[in-house]
A = this chain, B = another copy of it.
Amino acid sequence: MPAAAQATRSPRIREKRRRRRDEILRSALRAFREKGYHATTLDDIAARLGVHKTALYHYFSDKESILYACHRESLAEVARLMKEARDRYDGAADRLAFLVREHVRVMTDTLEGSPLAFEVTALTPAHQAEVIALRDRYERELRRLVAQGMKSGEFRRIDPKTAVFAILGAINWIARWYRPEGSLSAPQLGSAFAAHLVGGLTSHAR
């Protein structure tokens, strides 16, 4: 496509393409959440944007590459947040609370039900391996923070693995009940979850 190649030279058009790509990913996520990945067709995703599905092919070759892009974007966001937690906060409890708040925000506000909570079996084996490796890195980082908080005395004696499963379970489950049009704002939910899930690890908790 020489026309497309030329188009990417103009910053204005590049920006427009980026926005369009984001819209497709959001529309796809909404469809995946409502109908499930397997039941969703490219026609469904296109119809939500008021375009014909051929318009999607300028951005994605098939449904799997859309799902993969969704996963990649949210995992890149999570990697950025892990760095921000380390840069902005010192203690394990503060870092963990920040990550819980931000993960809740990613789940609710930005992505309308995050692909982080999706099954990965629909991805190609290579994409699955990549996504799982990045998820594992995030889980290890959370466990490391819990262990660090125990060492510093911020947290009581707990099994980091179990604690992190409880935290991620609570957050991942959000995709099953959260409605963006509901009464609860994403920041309120994030703060409530951080207080509950990090508070439950502190030395003062029962």
The answer to whether A200 touches B204 (Cβ under 8 A) is no
The answer to whether A193 touches B206 (Cβ under 8 A) is no
- The verdict on A7 contacting chain B, using a C-beta distance below 8 Å, is no
Q: Could you say which of A15-23, A58-66, A73-81, A165-173 contacts chain B?
A: A165-173
The count of residues in chain A whose C-beta lies closer than 8 Å to any C-beta of chain B is 34
Complex interface bits, A142-178 against B, C-beta within 8 A gives 1, otherwise 0: 0000000000000000110111011111111110110
Q: Which A residues are closer than 8 A to B by beta carbons?
A: 93, 158-159, 161-163, 165-174, 176-177, 184, 188-189, 192-193, 195-202, 204-206
Residues of B within 8 A of A197 (CB): 166, 196, 200
Closest 6 CB pairs of A and B: A169-B173, A200-B200, A199-B205, A204-B204, A196-B200, A169-B170
A162, A174, A204, most chain B CB atoms within 10 A: A162
The answer to whether A173 touches B168 (Cβ under 8 A) is yes
User: How many identical chains are in the complex?
Assistant: 2
Residues of B within 8 A of A204 (CB): 202, 204-206
Known pairs A169-B174, A173-B170, A204-B206; A158 contacts B93 (CB<8 A): no
A196–chain B nearest beta-carbon distance, Å:
4
The answer to whether A192 touches B93 (Cβ under 8 A) is no
Which of B169, B170, B198, B206 is close to A206, meaning CB atoms less than 8 Å apart? B198
A93–chain B nearest beta-carbon distance, Å:
7
